[in-house]
């Protein structure tokens, strides 16, 4: 038996079976297949449990766009401000993401490789109680990755059984306190890890079960898990204190080849790691503390190996990888790095009390993510990739030239015409198509650029509009003119979004055509296919380079918009503080008027005249505030804040009350005790009360409680990290759909689509 993990070939079956993957996964697979990336890092955040919700329902984790994890430090007595940190990963799964989706995106694609002789590893990492066992093993009606892998494996084997003869073997072990134990046959005692020159890493005496159906495996896992070392800890009632390693060996040989073929073996290691929490947090003592130390030791060793592999990858030299530092890493020696594909599923909890552990886990995962040598999604690394793409394109160009020379020879050779007669046709079809794709992509980016510009314009105009309304009132010509501009801008934005959406679907159609073109190469001579594929790869990389540049520009525009928006919010805040006291007074006044009106007139239907007078008066009071009540607009902004570089120099237009009034307010027992009217107000409809102001109870004036409701925008508009949509633009339901939603290429970096591994 020999492992063929390093063959480097992707078989036909592998690419055929890969077609049912999600588009984003396809890109990641593509990167993995090319060896440019051998670790995929996904984060999964579980929901708060009922018990946790009762203690504190604040969630420290938010997932955005299926890739971004935002961790917020819970507010405490010292830190009143919420500190946020953002991390981007290949995938980020929120609390509602199903087991199936996690499996589809993180593991399903590995099975093709395992069925063709590759090794792959999926491990769940994270603190105690964060959902590792749930993800890997699952629950009765929510099967985890281990069982879903088996179901999928057996389904695929059935499809492939005409061509290949397969045998599936499983072993299940745990590493507890640096001791290896068989979970299938526990009587075998403590086991040793050995390195066999032929077989690679083996565990002597470990039982291997030949599995013929998923049901057998389910039973075996059920029994194995019963034997696993679990103990209740402070953080989890059924905490797994050991690393559980399920290894699936898939052996196959080709059928009907007529000649003797070697057996090839692919190995899938599925690992439910023990919790990564810090000992101090779990209040562990005695044996639990030793366990914790051993757990941390092996996790540290795992982290060190991952780091060393990264270094080795980067330098392109042989580097010492400290596999021997722990049993876990020794066991995984042939399942990490090299041609092996590794998936790390980082489980985290949003519970406020686990904040530190969650944050440390994300930092660990972030380091692992950097093992990638390309396809980095973090925009910070964009420049690095652009330079890299240029090198890759140059290399590919050289390769294409070489191949074309060979091709020319073959084409011109009278002996070997077979299959080459249509070479020119295929080449020009591909070139023509890729030119179309590039043109569409360029048009798409032009449209996004215009959209960005429009967003910036509307933001500025809305600012001016609010201010003009405040200064001149609603019916003023200046206001009407700005309003008109805003409406026109809204229309243009909606049109532009439409355009972007259309272009995006155009591009997606072109991608489908590209796939068809690729499929039409089936059966062509190897040299020709190779040339076509390299030419295609070259185009795709050029396309990615273009995307990267545009992405940078778009990010810049977004930041600009966010800056404007932040300034608007800051101004509002300052205005609110500035206006607070005046509004409080107005509020009181309006409340009293309203009460008075209701008492005297509302029930008296017959007294139309009085009603009219009072309505008129009340409207007069309301009209001043009507625009801030609207859901579409924000509180008034003074130009001094928006446009003036030194906002504090000018006087606020809102009159301040003098110190006497401040004194009255602070000494009033409640706001209803006050009967204050601003002395400068020309719109007073009540005479100043002759009654005495109560000064009995000294109570400080509570600013936050007395802030009038209408000064707050009903709902603060969200700023998406991906595409910032103006909060001012009213959209129909159709328009609300983000036209960029399907745009996988423009996210946290560049993804290269459609590249397949080939020889
Ligand atoms: N995605 C999820 N959706 C719903 N419930 C979940 C999810 N993830 C975990 N849980 C629940 O949270 C609890 C803890 O999960 P689990 O036992 O898988 O944690 P763990 O990380 O394996 O902990 P340990 O390291 O201590 O073994 C369980 O009750 C599980 O059902």
Mean pLDDT of the region 380-407: 56
* 552 and 601 housed in the same domain: no
CA of residue 132 to ligand 1 center, whole Å: 6
Instruction: Answer yes or no: is pLDDT of 350 > 90.
Output: yes
The CB-side HSE value for 546 (13 A sphere, CA atoms) comes to: 16
Of 520, 547, 568, the residue that ends a domain is 568
Q: pLDDT at position 519, please?
A: 86
Tell me if 128 CB under 6 Å of ligand 1. Answer: yes
Q: For 12-35, what is each residue's pLDDT tens digit?
A: 233 333 334 455 555 556 555 554
* Low-confidence winner among 34-38, 340-344, 633-637 (lowest mean pLDDT): 633-637
Q: pLDDT at position 101, please?
A: 95
Q: pLDDT at position 681, please?
A: 35
Find the angle CA(608)-CA(609)-CA(612) to the nearest 5 degrees: 85
* 559 and 584 housed in the same domain: no
In percent, the amount of the chain with pLDDT more than 90 equals: 11
Give domain status of residue 448, yes or no.
yes
Report the SS3 class of residue 40. strand
Tell me if 129 CB under 6 Å of ligand 1. Answer: yes
Give domain status of residue 549, yes or no.
yes
Q: State how far the alpha carbon of 731 is from the alpha carbons of 371, 630, 735, 736, in Å.
A: 42, 16, 5, 5
* 564 and 598 housed in the same domain: no
Q: What CATH number is attached to the domain comprising 441?
A: 1.20.58
- Known binding-site positions: 126-133
* 482 and 404 housed in the same domain: yes
Cβ–Cβ contacts within 10 Å for residue 536, how many?
Answer: 23
pLDDT bracket for residue 201 (50, 70, 90): confident
More confident residue, 64 or 316: 64
Q: What total number of domains does the chain contain?
A: 3
Q: Report the length, in residues, of the chain.
A: 759
Q: pLDDT at position 131, please?
A: 93
pLDDT bracket for residue 508 (50, 70, 90): confident
Give domain status of residue 740, yes or no.
no
Token pair for residue 680? 């400068």
CA of residue 240 to ligand 1 center, whole Å: 10
Token pair 């000649």 is found at 259
* 335 and 389 housed in the same domain: no
Q: What CATH number is attached to the domain comprising 261?
A: 3.40.850.10
Token pair for residue 541? 């990389």
Instruction: Answer yes or no: is pLDDT of 397 > 80.
Output: no
In ligand 1, which atom is closest to the CA atom of 237?
Answer: 26
Give domain status of residue 205, yes or no.
yes
Tell me if 47 CB under 6 Å of ligand 1. Answer: yes
Q: pLDDT at position 754, please?
A: 24
pLDDT bracket for residue 658 (50, 70, 90): very low
Q: How far apart are CA 452 and CA 562, in angstroms?
A: 12
Instruction: Answer yes or no: is pLDDT of 471 > 80.
Output: no
* 327 and 403 housed in the same domain: no
Measure CA 759 to chain center.
33
Q: Which domain holds residue 518?
A: 384-568
Q: How far apart are CA 667 and CA 661, in angstroms?
A: 10
* Low-confidence winner among 172-181, 454-463, 595-604, 730-739 (lowest mean pLDDT): 730-739
Q: How far apart are CA 465 and CA 486, in angstroms?
A: 8
* 597 and 649 housed in the same domain: yes
Give domain status of residue 726, yes or no.
no
Q: DSSP string covering 90-155, please? A: SEEE-TT--HHHHHHHHTHHHHHHHTTT-EEEEEEE-STTSSHHHHHTEETTEE-HHHHHHHHHHH
* 469 and 543 housed in the same domain: yes
Q: pLDDT at position 696, please?
A: 37
Give domain status of residue 75, yes or no.
no
- 262-266, 354-358, 457-461 — which one is most confidently predicted on average? 354-358
- Known binding-site positions for ATP: 126-133
Q: DSSP string covering 508-555, please? A: HHHHHHHHHHHHTTTTS-HHHHHHHHHHHHHHHHHHHHHHHHHHHHHH
Give domain status of residue 366, yes or no.
no
Q: pLDDT at position 545, please?
A: 74
Give domain status of residue 43, yes or no.
no
CA-nearest residue, atom 31 of ligand 1:
134
Tell me if 275 CB under 6 Å of ligand 1. Answer: yes
CA-nearest residue, atom 16 of ligand 1:
131
Tell me if 350 CB under 6 Å of ligand 1. Answer: no
Q: What H or E segment, with its residue span, contains residue 759?
A: none
Asked if the interface predicted TM-score (ipTM) of this complex is over 0.90, the answer is: yes
Give, for ligand 1, the residue of 123, 133, 358 to mutate: max count of ligand atoms closer than 8 Å to Cβ.
133
Q: How far apart are CA 573 and CA 712, in angstroms?
A: 9
Q: State how far the alpha carbon of 233 is from the alpha carbons of 186, 346, 355, in Å.
A: 24, 20, 17
pLDDT bracket for residue 717 (50, 70, 90): very low
* 342 and 483 housed in the same domain: no
Of 43, 60, 756, nearest in space to 369 by CA: 43
- 177 and 290 Cβ atoms separated by less than 8 Å: yes
CA of residue 154 to ligand 1 center, whole Å: 27
* 212 and 334 housed in the same domain: yes
Q: What H or E segment, with its residue span, contains residue 345?
A: strand 341-348
Mean pLDDT of the region 575-592: 67
Instruction: Answer yes or no: is pLDDT of 148 > 90.
Output: yes
Q: What are the backbone dihedrals phi and psi of residue 315, each rounded to the nearest 5 degrees, phi first? A: -80, -25
* 552 and 694 housed in the same domain: no
* 530 and 586 housed in the same domain: no
In ligand 1, which atom is closest to the CA atom of 236?
Answer: 26
pLDDT bracket for residue 189 (50, 70, 90): confident
Instruction: Answer yes or no: is pLDDT of 183 > 70.
Output: yes
């Amino acid at each position: 038996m020999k492992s063929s993990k390093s063959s480097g070939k992707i078989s036909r079956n592998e690419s055929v079976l890969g077609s049912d993957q999600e588009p984003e996964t396809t890109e990641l697979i593509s990167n993995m297949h090319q060896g440019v990336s051998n670790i995929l890092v996904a984060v999964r955040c579980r929901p708060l449990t009922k018990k946790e919700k009762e203690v504190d329902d604040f969630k420290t984790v938010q997932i955005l766009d299926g890739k971004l994890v935002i961790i917020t430090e819970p507010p405490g007595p010292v830190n009143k401000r919420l500190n946020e940190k953002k991390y981007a990963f290949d995938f980020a799964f929120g609390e509602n993401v199903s087991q199936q989706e996690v499996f589809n995106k993180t593991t399903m694609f590995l099975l093709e490789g395992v069925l063709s002789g590759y090794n792959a590893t999926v491990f769940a990492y994270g603190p105690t109680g964060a959902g590792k066992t749930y993800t890997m093993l699952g629950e009765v009606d929510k099967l985890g990755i281990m069982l879903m892998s088996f179901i999928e494996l057996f389904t695929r084997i059935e499809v492939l059984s005409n061509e290949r003869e397969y045998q599936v073997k499983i072993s299940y072990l745990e590493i507890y306190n640096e001791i290896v134990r068989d979970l299938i046959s526990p009587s075998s005692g403590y086991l040793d890890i050995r390195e066999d020159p032929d077989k690679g890493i083996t565990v002597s005496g470990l039982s291997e079960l030949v599995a013929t159906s998923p049901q057998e495996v389910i039973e075996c896992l059920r029994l194995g898990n019963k034997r696993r070392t679990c103990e209740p800890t402070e953080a989890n009632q059924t905490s797994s204190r050991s690393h559980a390693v399920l290894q699936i060996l898939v052996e196959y040989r080709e059928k009907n080849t007529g000649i003797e073929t070697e057996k090839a073996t692919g190995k899938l290691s599925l690992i439910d790691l023990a919790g990564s929490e810090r000992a101090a947090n779990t209040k562990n003592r005695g044996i639990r503390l030793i366990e914790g130390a051993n757990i941390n030791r092996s996790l540290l060793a795992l982290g060190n190996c991952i780091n060393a592999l990264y270094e080795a990858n980067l330098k392109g030299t042989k580097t010492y990888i400290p596999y021997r530092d722990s049993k876990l890493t020794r066991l995984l020696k042939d399942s990490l790095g090299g041609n092996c594909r590794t998936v790390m599923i980082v489980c985290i909890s949003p519970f406020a009390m686990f904040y530190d552990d969650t944050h440390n886990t994300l930092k660990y995962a972030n380091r692992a993510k950097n093992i990638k040598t390309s396809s980095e999604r973090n925009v910070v690394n964009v420049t690095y990739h652009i330079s890299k793409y240029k090198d890759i394109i140059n290399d590919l160009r050289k390769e294409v030239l070489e191949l074309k020379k060979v091709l020319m020879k073959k084409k011109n050779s009278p002996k070997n015409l077979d299959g080459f007669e249509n070479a020119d046709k295929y080449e020009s079809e591909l070139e023509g198509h890729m030119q179309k794709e590039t043109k569409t992509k360029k048009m798409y980016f032009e449209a996004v650029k215009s959209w960005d510009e429009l967003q910036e314009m509307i933001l500025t105009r809305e600012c001016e509009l609010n201010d003009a309304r405040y200064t001149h009132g609603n019916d003023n010509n200046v206001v009407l003119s700005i309003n008109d501009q805003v409406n026109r801008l809204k229309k243009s934005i909606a049109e532009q979004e439409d355009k972007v959406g259309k272009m995006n679907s155009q591009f997606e159609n072109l991608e489908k055509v590209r796939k068809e073109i690729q499929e039409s190469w089936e059966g062509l001579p190897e040299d020709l296919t190779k040339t076509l594929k390299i030419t295609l790869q070259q185009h795709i990389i050029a396309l990615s380079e273009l995307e990267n540049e545009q992405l940078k520009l778009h990010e810049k525009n977004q930041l600009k918009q966010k800056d404007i928006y932040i300034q608007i919010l800051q101004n509002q805040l300052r205005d609110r503080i500035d206006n607070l006291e005046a509004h409080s007074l107005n509020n009181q006044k309006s409340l009293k008027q309203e009460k008075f009106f209701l008492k005297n007139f509302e029930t008296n239907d017959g007294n139309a005249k009085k009603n009219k007078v009072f309505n008129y008066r009340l409207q007069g009071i309301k009209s001043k505030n009507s625009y801030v009540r609207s859901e579409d607009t924000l509180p008034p902004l003074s130009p001094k804040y928006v446009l003036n570089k030194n906002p504090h120099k000018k006087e606020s237009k809102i009159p301040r009350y003098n110190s006497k009034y401040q004194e009255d307010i602070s000494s009033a027992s409640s706001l209803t005790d006050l009967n204050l009217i601003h002395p400068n107000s020309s719109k007073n409809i009540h005479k100043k009360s002759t009654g005495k102001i109560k000064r009995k109870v000294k109570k400080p004036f509570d600013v936050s409680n007395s802030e009038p409701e209408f000064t707050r925008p009903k709902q603060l508009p969200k700023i998406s990290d991906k595409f910032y949509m103006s909060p001012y633009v009213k959209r129909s339901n159709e328009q609300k759909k983000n036209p960029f939603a399907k745009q996988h290429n423009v996210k946290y970096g560049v993804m290269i689509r459609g590249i397949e591994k080939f020889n």
